[in-house]
Amino acid sequence: MFKYFTPLLLLTTGMATAQAAPPTATVSQLMTKALPDFPGKEALVLMVTYPPGSVDPVHRHNADAFVYVLEGAIVMGVRGGKTVTLTPGQTFYEGPNDVHTIGRNASASKPAKFIVVLLKSVGKPAVIPAK
């Protein structure tokens, strides 16, 4: 009986591990401010914390997005652009037409933290799923 049980146990354990979702980012809204010089636009400031191994789904912002890394290292990329690894003090930009295809923590053992400033239309969502 055990000669059949062990391979089955290994197979099902491996399947459960392979299907486990990566940890998700924690996003905290720090500030929203209407921009009187740009009617209908606002600035939205977010702090994003990636736990070790965190990966973002493919998305877009329909906004100008400015990223500033505070801690750790993150990997960022937009469709058609170069993938970059950013460390504290480095920046990244996403335009309103960009699709953010790569966003993840570069480390499987340390968290990463960054600030995002979005210049977007008032009342529109900050993140939109994309393909």
> Which residue in the block uniquely carries the two structure tokens 């459960």?
16
Per-residue pLDDT of 29-41, as tens digits, reads 999 999 999 999 9
- Looking at per-residue confidence, does 131 or 113 come out higher? 113
What was the pLDDT predicted at 7? 46
On the question of pLDDT at 16 being above 80, the answer is: no
Per-residue pLDDT of 63-105, as tens digits, reads 999 999 999 999 999 999 999 999 999 999 999 999 999 999 9
